[in-house]
Amino acid sequence: MHLFFLQTNNVNSAANYLPIAIQVIFAIGLIAFIMVLSNYLGPKRKTSDKLQNFESGIDIKGNARRPIAIKYFLVAILFVLFDVEVIFFYPYAVNFRELGWQGFVAVLMFVALFIIGFIYIIKKGALNWED
């Protein structure tokens, strides 16, 4: 009985994290070693062809800093928003029997709010690309 008490008392001690700390230190050391080694052993030919920007084999056209239409960012944000909505369905799908009708009503309210938001987005013309 006395040994059981000692084992449960030391469950969250700092010594239990020592293997993780050693592994992290080893990983960082290995990365640093490989980077330094590749820097010393790698070729160092700086020709004009190597210093030129490479864009997937396509010749460079214009400035990369030109403004982009906000609609691209808006569609990306909307995609993330509705994609995250799907993530919230997983806990309900796992526990739908335990949640019962109260959980079903909560999910219906959740979906209704997103449908209202989607209708608002369509009414505002956020998905129209004719501009």
Note whether residue 77 is domain-resident: yes
- Stated pTM of the model: 0.43
Could you report the per-residue pLDDT of 59-111, keeping only the tens digit for each? 667 777 777 777 778 788 888 887 888 888 888 888 888 888 998 999 899 88
Sign of CA dihedral 56, 60, 62, 64: positive
Note whether residue 131 is domain-resident: no
Q: Could you list the residue range(s) of the whole structural domain that residue 66 is in?
A: 2-124
Place 128 in a pLDDT band, splitting at 50, 70 and 90. Answer: confident
Note whether residue 129 is domain-resident: no
Q: What is the pLDDT of residue 46?
A: 79
Q: What is the pLDDT of residue 10?
A: 59
Place 1 in a pLDDT band, splitting at 50, 70 and 90. Answer: very low
Rounded to the nearest 5°, which phi and psi values hold at 93?
Answer: -65, -35
List the CATH number of the domain containing 43.
1.20.58.1610
Residue with tokens 């400035």: 63
Could you report the per-residue pLDDT of 5-56, keeping only the tens digit for each? 445 555 677 778 889 999 999 999 999 999 999 989 988 877 877 777 666 7
The answer to whether 53 and 60 are in contact (CB under 8 A) is yes
Q: What is the pLDDT of residue 3?
A: 52
> Pick from 70, 107, 77, 73: which is nearest to 90 by CA?
107
- Predicted confidence (pLDDT) at residue 119 exceeds the cutoff of 80: yes
Q: How many domains does the chain have?
A: 1
